[in-house]
Amino acid sequence: MEPGGGSALDTILQLALNGLAVGCIYGLVALGFVLIYKATELVNFAQGDLLMLGAFVCYMFVVWYGIGYWTAFALAIGIVGGFGAVLDATVLRRVIGQPQFAVVMLTIGLGAMFRSFASLTWGSEIYTLPTPFSARTTRLGGVTVSHEYVAIIVGTVVLCALLYAFFTYSRVGVAMQAASQNQLAAYYMGIPVKRMFSLIWAISAGVAAIAGVLLAPVSLIDINLGFIGLKAFAAAVLGGFGSIPGALVGGVTIGLIELFSGAYLPLGVKDVAAYIVLLLVLAIRPQGMFGTVGRKKV
């Protein structure tokens, strides 16, 4: 998005709004990463591809079958969420106990398979998803407020509030921590570890699907939509890999940094701004903004 004409303040506000919206998407994907990492200590490199699947499923229901946007949205969340749970139960459960990097490779392989599947089922071109907020804008002062962007921000806020409530006021949050630190002990304490992991995967995949559907009108759907996951890594690391609010804060920060560096820094920096931030965070403060550092006790 180009910064709108008008005063410098208008430009800044425009950039801030756009950056906030983009950042919310990054934050949602990062949230998916963090949820899975907190529960199972796996880093899911296929999170971006789950986002892509969510966008495609919604597209399929709206464009191929003529179902209404909101119903399709709900269906997409349900299907991709269910798929996440099935993925955990069939594939990921088998690799528990293997070194972390083997699981990373596994998720990378799964991501490639998802991309192929999408290409086979829906085709390898670029598609548009018609939504109730497409191409509608409001002008507030000198700032063009795109309804799609507002939808993204509102959707993210609502989702995060729901998730926060779920994890704070239910026993799942604590059980999740226990299972991630010492699985055998968690079993002994009566925690249904397998069911919980599947639940976490379902939630994480659902969050990815929501992010995909919210992103679709802005960036158009194609099989490479999932590469946004790489930038979301930066968001997750910046926020602190084990912290849920951190993921969102990190995402918004990265989004803002990207938009502003695109406007004020030389060409090309915008594309790699997220990765530069990632490297700086890892070099200077690896635990990010809200994470904690652990150390093995010998």
Partner 1 sequence: MRFAFKTSYDHDLGLFRDPVQRRWYAGLLAAVLLLPLALPDYLSDVSMVFIYGLCGLSLMVLAGYTGLVSLGHAAFLGIGAYAHVYFVQDLGLPWVVAVALAATLSAASGVLVGLPALRMTGVYLTIATLAFALIIQEAFSRWEHVTHGLKGRPVDKPVIFGVSFASDAAFYFLCLAFLIAGLWLTANILRAPTGRAWVAIRDSEIAAQSMGVHLARYKTTAFAYSAALMGAAGALFAHKIGFLAPDIFSVLLSIQFLLMVVVGGLGSLHGALYGAVFVAMLPVLISEVRDHAPQWAGHLSGLLGKDAGAAIYLTVERFVKQPGLEPGIFGLILVLFILFEPLGIYGRWRKIQLLFSTFPLYKRATFRRQKTYMRSERLR
Told to check if 164 binds partner 1 by CB under 8 A, we report no
Give the separation between CA 51 and CA 49, rounded to whole angstroms. Answer: 5
d(CA 31, CA 171): 19
Q: Is 290 in the site for partner 1 (CB under 8 A)?
A: no
Q: Which residue in 99, 293, 78 sits closest to 202, CA to CA?
A: 78
Distances (CA, A) of 21 to 39, 192, 252, 259: 27, 37, 8, 10
Binder among 2, 157, 192, 271 for partner 1 (CB under 8 A): 271
Nearer to partner 1, 159 or 205 (CB): 205
Please say which residue, 208 or 223, places its beta carbon nearer to partner 1: 223
Site stretch for partner 1 (CB under 8 A), options 54-62, 141-149, 167-175, 270-278: 270-278
Of 191, 233, 247, 253, the one binding partner 1 (CB under 8 A) is 233
Whole-number minimum distance, CB 289 to partner 1, in Å?
Answer: 15
C-alpha angle 237-294-188 in degrees, rounded to nearest 5? 110
How many chain residues are in contact with partner 1, going by CB under 8 A? 58
Residue 181 interacts with partner 1 (CB under 8 A)?
yes
User: Phi, psi (5° rounding) for residue 118?
Assistant: -65, -40
- Tokens representing 198 are 């599947």
Separation in Å, CA 235 to CA 7, 123, 185, 225, 274: 30, 30, 32, 17, 8
175 near partner 1, rule: CB under 8 A: no
Q: Among the candidate windows 61-69, 102-110, 141-149, 166-174, which touches partner 1 by CB under 8 A? A: 102-110
Cα–Cα distance for residue pair 42/105, rounded to 1 Å: 11
Binding site for partner 1 (CB under 8 A): 40-41, 43, 91, 94-98, 100-106, 108-113, 115-120, 124, 180-184, 187, 223, 230, 233-234, 237, 241-242, 267-268, 271-272, 275-276, 278-279, 282-283, 286, 294-298
